[in-house]
Amino acid sequence: MRFEDCLCFQLACLSRSLSRTYRDRIAPHGLTQAQFFMLIALYEEDGAPPSRLSQKTRLDRPTVTGLLDRLERDGWVERRSDPADRRSLRVFLTAKAWRHQESLCAVYEEVNGLFMEKFSPEEWQAFRAFLDRLRDDH
Amino acid sequence: MRFEDCLCFQLACLSRSLSRTYRDRIAPHGLTQAQFFMLIALYEEDGAPPSRLSQKTRLDRPTVTGLLDRLERDGWVERRSDPADRRSLRVFLTAKAWRHQESLCAVYEEVNGLFMEKFSPEEWQAFRAFLDRLRDDH
DNA sequence: CAACATCTATTAGCATGCACACTATTTTTG
DNA sequence: CAAAAATAGTGTGCATGCTAATAGATGTTG
């Protein structure tokens, strides 16, 4: 099989390409694409522990630790200890993050809309089914 | 749109997942997935300059430089200067790389086969068309 | 021919993303 | 209850992948 036809190669290219679409729009906010996605996850689940964020974003825990480090450094989130379990933390969005919510979620919806509008609902369903079929058991 | 339904997120997860499938099989050879793909590209175009490899793999040139650094360090490739243009280099596979060709290409075909067999030819064509539709103009 | 632009590859700096190992805490088990 | 196992988060080291800036060589243009 020719290299250009390799599915893994094509998916990797496409994934980087889509990430760039977000990146270009959120760079003015001082966020990277991965940080942006973590914030979107937190807008849905403010106060989640890192383990939950790792599960939700399907990133390893050391990766989440690093992301949270930089988000905390830049004042987007705050780690608070969990009184119920001293091993655990809970991650909370700061006032700054809530101030940017509308603007960031608008970018999120806008870019998702750019992708969605290229397909009919039936095509989307079929596409999603293809992705799901590839997801498991290698 | 819920975070889990975001196409960019799903593609990124899937891309990492597929990469892992190659990684598990080529780690014993002492190669990473990106290095492995670069070798596959070179089996098709031995002697190509870095600029061509950057185009072929759709990676930035600094990324290609780093990949070639590590491949050369580990004895897989060799950079030779181009007599016709002293700015240019040409990248050649070493004897070691050719010795591993059969084995590495077997992994390549095996894993691609794992993915391909999940779809009928018509489904593959439809899937590829979806990917192509997303590729351009963001 | 000389100034300028372009093209080659690279370096530096940063942020992921991963495997591995580690500490602290909690839970389980004998 | 004490020992072992499991869990939460982190530190380390490495390999991508990117942007911006750089050095050298070639092409272009006045």
Task: Report pLDDT digits (tens) over B84-94.
Answer: 999 999 999 99
3-class secondary structure, A121: helix
Identify the H or E element spanning A101. Answer: helix A101-116
Specify whether domain B7-136 bears CATH 1.10.10.10: yes
Best of B56, B107, B138 to disrupt the A interface by mutation (most A CBs within 10 Å)?
B138
Whole-angstrom distance, CA of residue B56 vs CA of residue B44: 11
Residue listed under structure tokens 């596409």: A127
- Is residue A76 within 8 A of residue A96, CB to CB? The reply is yes
Closest residue of A to B110, CA-based? A1
Whole-angstrom distance, CA of residue B84 vs CA of residue B96: 27
- List average pLDDT for each run of 10 residues in chain A, which is 138 residues long: 93 96 95 97 97 96 98 97 94 97 96 93 93 78
Give the mean model confidence (pLDDT) for residues B86-107: 96
What integer pLDDT is reported at residue B94 of this predicted model?
98
CA within 13 Å, CB half, A62: 0
Residue listed under structure tokens 């997120």: B9
Percentage of chain B surpassing pLDDT 90? 96
Indicate the average pLDDT of chain B.
94
- Of the candidates B97, B114, B121, B123, the one whose C-alpha atom is nearest the C-alpha of residue B41 is B97
Answer yes or no: is B16 CB < 7 A from strand C: yes
What integer pLDDT is reported at residue A137 of this predicted model?
55
Domain boundaries, chain A: 7-136
What integer pLDDT is reported at residue A20 of this predicted model?
94
3-class secondary structure, B117: coil
Residue B138 has pLDDT above 90, yes or no: no
Give the mean model confidence (pLDDT) for residues B55-59: 96
What integer pLDDT is reported at residue A136 of this predicted model?
67
Answer yes or no: is A59 CB < 7 A from strand C: yes
